[in-house]
């Protein structure tokens, strides 16, 4: 069973349409939208500040979502994919964003809609990622504008696939 715990009397709010893996952890002031998924070994820790997620957010295996006490909340828009082992901390992520595997997004960052943060990128504190951008590197910098093909071919595809994947774990045939 997943670890879902209240902190200081505030419990996570997780709609029935969401999937939470058996070894995921969600604690405290966390509000999830519809059709979200929190995958194996992922941690969503709303213990020191709030975490808000829109619809169709997937937090992939080993990712960590957190915030900073009395300083930064984490706000995640709709149709956002947070890749395996990524760290998203005290920032704002607007709609239709892909955060690649192993990326680090630090406090005060604002990621505009329709953007990609490349795998392994480190987005430093208070960076503004313009809408429609691809950021990569350490520290992360804008490398180009996102094409419509990439936006629909990757960002939308991945978010939709994770809704499909989570349905596999909700069906009675799981494990057969």
Q: Determine the Cα–Cα distance for residues 147 and 124; give it in Å rounded to an integer.
A: 24
Dihedral sign (CA 154, 159, 160, 165)? positive
Measuring CA to CA, which residue among 60, 58, 94 is closest to residue 74? Answer: 94
Give the CB-side neighbour count of residue 7, counting CA atoms within 13 A.
17
Helix, strand or coil, per DSSP, at residue 50: strand
pLDDT of residue 175: 45
In angstroms, the CA 124 to CA 111 distance is 12
Question: CB–CB of 8/28 below 8 Å?
Answer: yes
pLDDT per residue, tens digit, the chain (176 aa), is 999 999 999 999 999 999 999 999 999 999 999 999 999 999 999 999 999 999 999 999 999 999 999 999 999 999 999 999 999 999 999 999 999 999 999 999 999 999 999 999 999 999 999 999 999 999 999 999 998 888 888 899 999 999 999 999 986 555 44
Contact 108, 90 (CB under 8 A): yes
* Tally of residues, the chain: 176
The two three-digit tokens of residue 19, written as one number: 């999937």
Residue pair 74/80 in contact (Cβ under 8 Å)? The answer is no
Domains of the chain: 3-170 (2.160.10.10)
Q: List, in sequence order, every residue forming a beta bridge with 26; answer none if it has no partner.
A: 4, 44
Rg (CA), the chain: 15
Read off the pTM: 0.95
Environment class of 69 (CB within 10 Å of its CB; exposed 0-12, middle 13-18, buried 19+): exposed
Provide the 3-class DSSP secondary structure of residue 163.
Answer: helix
């Amino acid at each position: 069973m997943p670890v879902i715990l209240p902190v200081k009397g505030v419990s996570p709010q997780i709609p029935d349409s969401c999937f939470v893996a058996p070894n995921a952890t969600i604690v405290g002031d966390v509000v999830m939208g519809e059709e979200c998924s929190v995958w194996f070994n992922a941690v969503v820790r709303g213990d020191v500040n709030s975490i808000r997620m829109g619809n169709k957010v997937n937090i992939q295996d080993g990712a960590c979502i957190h915030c900073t006490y009395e300083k930064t909340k984490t706000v995640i828009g709709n149709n956002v994919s947070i890749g395996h082992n990524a760290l998203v901390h005290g920032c704002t992520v607007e709609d239709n964003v892909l955060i690649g595997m192993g990326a680090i997004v630090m406090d005060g960052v604002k990621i505009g809609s329709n953007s990609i943060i490349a795998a392994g990128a480190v987005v430093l504190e208070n960076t503004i990622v313009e809408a429609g951008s691809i950021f990569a590197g350490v520290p992360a910098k804008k490398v180009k504008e996102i094409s419509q093909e990439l936006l629909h071919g990757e960002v939308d595809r991945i978010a939709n696939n994770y809704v499909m994947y989570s349905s596999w774990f909700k069906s009675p045939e799981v494990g057969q």
